[in-house]
Amino acid sequence: MEKSRVGACSRRNRGFHGVPTRCWCGEGIDTFISKTHKNPFRRFYRCKIAMQKGEAHLFKWVDEALAEEISLVEARQRTIEEDLEDMRKTEKSEDDGASQNNGCLGVITWFCCKLW
């Protein structure tokens, strides 16, 4: 099973929100550069099979994927901040001592490791 955080989301809804790692057909994807007049030199992701056979496989503009990826990260960060805020409140009510400072940093590190 792949550990990719994006992969887990895209398998669920097939919408490939954020940066895609694989086409829905299972094939890997590559980045290419558009040569159309409408989108000159714009980079996009495309399924490797689609480039050979011209079938309808995954296609996504790189800039749009990155914009989605950023909004995903922002949403995730908001959740972490809210969780941390809750923890800080809990911690404060339990113990007001200065000895808790290191523990707080540990919690943040733990969160980052878990989510990334």
Residues at the contact surface with Zn ion, assessed by CB under 5 A? 23, 25, 27, 47, 49, 57
For CA atoms 25, 28, 7, 70, the dihedral sign is: negative
- Tell me how far, at minimum, the Cβ of 29 lies from Zn ion, in Å: 8
- Tell me how far, at minimum, the Cβ of 44 lies from Zn ion, in Å: 14
For CA atoms 102, 107, 113, 116, the dihedral sign is: negative
Closer Cβ to Zn ion, 28 or 103, answer by number: 28
- Tell me how far, at minimum, the Cβ of 12 lies from Zn ion, in Å: 18
| CA–CA dist 71, 19 (Å, integer) | 11
Closer Cβ to Zn ion, 59 or 111, answer by number: 59
